[in-house]
Structure 1
């Protein structure tokens, strides 16, 4: 399979050339354009999330050999959260090569945080399956770059930040409601709603309940204009 010039340019931005280009194509294929012959990137996103987590956990341990778990956890969450993944995706113009359905394109899908965050994780998995863990690790460390060294010790995960925002305004802690679960048992996709008692809410999907809750909290924080 030969990649288009656009995808070859994207490979250059990634700093990785695929032996099996079909993996990259699948990583960039959103569910809005899937057919029986064209699979989407959800399974790759599930795998890429885990690869990213392992690389970041290892990098943080090596960077600060004296840090306690309570210090490492917020740094880790700041580096792997959907917002950060989407920032990385924007820096390499991933949105321009996403394969989206017409309705998703018209609704601004190439700029959506959730789509971009999922897609960069799928690309990580594609590199992992194509070139192994070392290739995926090297790409992640290159793309995340100085963020790893500069991550703030006070970085809070979205659920904590949302709870603090609510409590500061006299509201009860947000509720997290599972709206649906889809996909096979070995690769489930959870859709979770984060809800405030004043009626505001946001939804997100992820390969684990924890990830979906974090992303829903981040989306709700974004909507209410909070910067965590």
Structure 2
């Protein structure tokens, strides 16, 4: 399969034309319209500092269903102990910056200046959100991603204390479940996400579930699970 070179036109090739490793296209930009079109089409950006902008649509796709998140006994004890305080959208930029150095456990892109600016714009527009995990005034874990329809597209997560990122994911999943969200897109598999109940589904099934979750190209954010918490 060829890797498509994107032009200025706001258009992506069909996801099923991706390479076996999921690489679909190169080039384009990180403007909000292109990013939102990508996510709603089952495509996401993933590239390292100095690389061209790469767009991916892997098959299978790794997802986590909010109502099916697995919480081990040990993790449940940590949550019930109240060791961490959880907030939403209180430190979006700080979470993105913290995700950058710890790529080996995450599934999003390296946090370049361009990525920071692009997702910062989506955050200001109400599309991107963060979950923060605190111990006192110290940010010790968290995650961020994009919300469209009834789907949360997870981009990256980090932890500085054991279990902090898992606690953040459980908090997110339970909140999304309360609002009848269909899935959390985890993009690619990791043992970290698999331990929480993540699983792979075919690209065809993933795209079908996007439509069932009301994910279509849109200029209107889905803020319901993410009210301002100061």
TM-score, normalised with respect to structure 2: 0.31
Larger radius of gyration: 1
* Higher relative helix content: 1
